[in-house]
Structure 1
Amino acid sequence: MTEMVYGAVPVRDGEPILPKWWRTIDKWAMSCVLMLFAVGLLLGLAASPPLAAKNGFEPFHYVQRQAFFGGLALIAMLLTSMMSPTVVRRLAVLGFLVSFVALVFLPFFGTDFGKGAMRWYSLGFASIQPSEFLKPGFVVAAAWMMAASLELNGPPGRLWSFALCIAIVLMLAMQPDFGQACLVLFGWGVMYFVAGAPMLLLVGMAACVVLAGSFAYSNSEHFARRIDGFLSPDVDPTTQLGYATNAIREGGLFGVGVGEGQVKWSLPDAHTDFIIAVAAEEYGLILVLVIIALYTGVVVRSLVRLVRERDPFIRLAGTGLACMFGVQAMINMGVAVRLLPAKGMTLPFVSYGGSSVIASGIAVGMLLAFTRTRPQGEISDLLSRGRSR
């Protein structure tokens, strides 16, 4: 419809898929993702051998698994980035429906692996966390609904997406997984803001989130324990936050040296939730700043391209995926430096975890597909045309 109204740039007929993909893909964002994956393998070599020895595996057991799952993630990312936005939307909605059903049955057939939160399905040789795959699918499905509501006589897509968001948030909170719940709510809020939500409504939603947090604090021991630990002026040096804080402090600017860090021997989640503490201790602030720059590069490059996008669905879905990707990284690193309460959230492409890295690959593949250069002109052309009339 957009091309019918505003016209389009001629398409190169008969161009092979790979040359066309390479010409239109955001190479800088893709390069940042590849470097993040390389950094994850590097830190895995440092962080995972103690855990492997403790569990009776070969020293690089977890690194090998991370390389395997990371390879699958990169293949998924590249294949997804070659798809058209229409194909991405269809597959994402289908994947969302499957993940949503899996999330519904999680309390009955899932397991907590002794961590106190029912988040995984155990397959024996591996485990699956449905919420990781649900997030990118939900973003695309919600963007589709919101874009449909912008059409003349369109359905109440914003209301539908909000109802779906609340249902997902409640199911995640019951696991409990408040970190993922907040991330899903944030992703929906960003898309709703871009879609033209009134500021008063967003302020009201923020107030509701505060009330919901107060209710969870009063009724959830798991939630209250994490908040109390975050607000406490003293950090217990024998807790995960205590070990991570000390490791970051010891690392300084250049780190204590490769393989010389001690936090990996104390932290059970050194290779997952607190991988940034290992990076800060052994490689110092320099590597941490590099990691932050890589995440910033993916988000900023994507948003700059999406600003010029005409199609409201692509603009909304891409914005939601980019912001969710960046905020998840920010939450993980914020927890490690005690700027945020403990969330149990991985660092995309860097932390160990099959579900996390594969889901991140799919999400970034969708983002790269949405930010590819398409023969439709840019929204700035339309704005300049309107001013000249």
Structure 2
Amino acid sequence: MTEMVYGAIPARDGEPVIPKWWRTVDKVTLGCVLGLFGMGLLLGFAASPPLAERNGLPPFYYVERQAMFAVLALAAMFGASLMSPNRVRRFGVLGFFAAFAALALLPVLGTDFGKGAIRWYSLGIASVQPSEFMKPVFIVTAAWLMAAAQEINGPPGKMFSFGLMVIIVGILVMQPDFGQASLILFGWGVMYFVAGAPMLLLVAIAGLVSVGGFFAYENSDHFARRIDGFLNPEVDPTTQLGYAANAIREGGFFGVGVGEGTVKMNLPDAHTDFIIAVAAEEYGLILVLIIIALYASVVLRSFSRLMKERDPFIRLAGTGLASVFGVQAMINMGVAVRLLPAKGMTLPFVSYGGSSLIAGGLLVGMLLALTRSRPQNEIGQMLAGRAREGRS
């Protein structure tokens, strides 16, 4: 009856999966993500050969591995984007239990690779960082709990999601991994705000975070060193932040030229945490602005499509996924220009790293699945249009 009255376009029963996916997926977001993958390979050619030479490896060893990880990430993104919202929810909840178990077992089975934080499982030919996979599945699980709380006689989902967030953040802080902990906290906070949290409660949570930060500063040498380095007005030119800041200044508007940069020779993390410094030095501000525009387009396009959704779970999960994706990029680039303390966080799809690329592919794949066009979107648009015509 609704379709007869409002003229909604009926679902195309029996339509093949791939044509239906192509018809409903956000092609602009998809194109921006593919552009970021391309940027990652381009900058990998610039940043990784010096590191490979220092490690006695073939010049393009890391580029080849990044290409392999990119293929796996694209496969994960494509597979996740084919899922329905219900399957995204089931996958997220099951994935959350797996990621939680992997995080809990890190102190026993994990390794630090000499970096002072036990964050990885060594698989011999590669390593896995569970916290990267925890981000998207926790967002989906928390969104499911918050959406369930909005139902009549629903469970106290907001309280359950808060408890899970506290436990996960606590585990990550003990590694220590303050960067991933802050992303988990931020993603949960955005969803909690969208779900209708009272401002007083959000202010109280912000106060608790400040107290926790002060406690970490007083009791963690790792955390204190990074904060002190950020607050120090004088930057040691021999540190990673010093090299990155100098590279960005040298690059100027058009860059020093392809292959002419020197920051990749001095930075051990030039291909990961400070890849944007390589981009700024060799290609200049122009390429950096293009990269920023690609991230902003993904986030803003996702928000635009989510505003048309009526399903609380889709709105909350999509908002959380898009927010975490955008903020991670913002933090990485903010660290490189000393707007934020060092976090040890990758630039999504651009930095080298298997766990980061594949987990990012899952995150964006689920975001694409949640923002695909659905019949209720068209009905909502028609209702809104008829309402505007009635008022005029």
Aligned to 1:124: 124
| Superimposed CA distance per residue, residues 117-167 of structure 1 (whole angstroms, 9 cap, x where no aligned partner) | 111011111000000001000000000000000000000000000000000
Q: Taking every aligned residue pair, what percent have the same amino acid on both sides?
A: 73
- CA distance 1:341–1:158, shift in 2 (3 Å): same
Alpha-carbon offset, residue 10 of structure 1: 2.3
Question: What code does the residue aligned with 2:371 have?
Answer: T
SS in 1 for 2:58: coil
Structure-2 change in CA distance of 1:51 and 1:194 (3 Å):
same
Instruction: Give distance in 2, aligned partners of 1:158 and 1:382.
Output: 31
Is this contact kept in 2: 1:279–1:287, CA < 8 A? Answer: yes
Cα offset, 1:216, TM superposition: 0.4
1:7 CA displacement: 11
Alignment of 1:237-276 (within 5 A): 237-276=237-276
Q: Distance between the aligned counterparts of 1:113 and 1:326, measured in 2?
A: 28
Judge conservation of contact 1:9–1:376 (CA < 8 Å) in 2: no
2:180: which partner in 1? Answer: 180
| Match status 1:19 vs 2:22 | no
Secondary structure at the aligned position of 2:345 is classed as: coil
Distance in 2 (alpha carbons) for counterparts of 1:191 and 1:359: 20
Tell me, yes or no, if the aligned pair for 1:256 and 1:284 is still in contact at 8 Å. yes
1:330-366 Cα distance to aligned partner (Å, 9 max, x none) = 0000000000000000000000000000000000000
Match of 1:35 in 2: 35
Instruction: State the Cα distance separating 1:383 from its structure 2 match.
Output: 6.3
| 1:314 match | 314
Q: Deviations over 1:235-263 (max 9, x none)?
A: 00000000000000000000000000000
Q: Which blocks of at least 5 consecutive residues in structure 2 are unaligned?
A: none
Q: Following the alignment from structure 1 to structure 2, what is the Cα–Cα distance between the partners of residues 324 and 379?
A: 27
Q: Distance in 2 between matches of 1:97 and 1:8?
A: 39
Tell me which amino acid in the other structure corresponds to 1:259: G
Give the root-mean-square deviation of aligned CA atoms. 1.8
When normalised by structure 2's length, the TM-score is: 0.96
User: Deviation per CA, 1:17-45, whole angstroms, max 9, x where unpaired?
Assistant: 11110000000000000000000000000
Contact preservation (8 Å) 1:254, 1:285: yes
The change in CA–CA distance for 1:264 and 1:210 in structure 2 (over 3 A counts) is same
Contact 1:195 1:316 in 2 (8 A): yes
Secondary structure of 1:124 counterpart: coil
Instruction: Give 2:114's aligned amino acid.
Output: G
Alignment partners' CA distance in 2, 1:155 and 1:172: 27
What's the counterpart of residue 156 of structure 1?
A: 156
Matched with 2:82 is 82
Instruction: List gaps (5 residues or longer) in structure 1.
Output: none
**In structure 1, C-alpha distance between the alignment counterparts of 2:10 and 2:254, rounded to whole Å:** 52
Deviations 1:60-79 (A, max 9, x none): 00000000000010011011
How is 1:26-175 mapped onto 2 (pairs within 5 angstroms)?
26-175=26-175
Partners in 1 of 2:309 and 2:56 — Cα distance? 52
Contact 1:261–1:282 (CA under 8 A) maintained in structure 2: yes
1:210-251, CA deviations, whole angstroms, 9 ceiling, x for partnerless residues? 111000000000000000000001000000000000000000
Instruction: Show the 5 A alignment for 1:191-340.
Output: 191-340=191-340
Equivalent position SS for 2:376: coil
Superposed, which structure 2 residues align to 1:367-378 within 5 Å? 367-377=367-377
Write the distance in 2 (CA, Å) between the matches of 1:375 and 1:200: 38
- Given that residues 349 and 360 in structure 1 are in contact (C-alpha distance below 8 angstroms), is that contact kept between their aligned partners in structure 2? yes
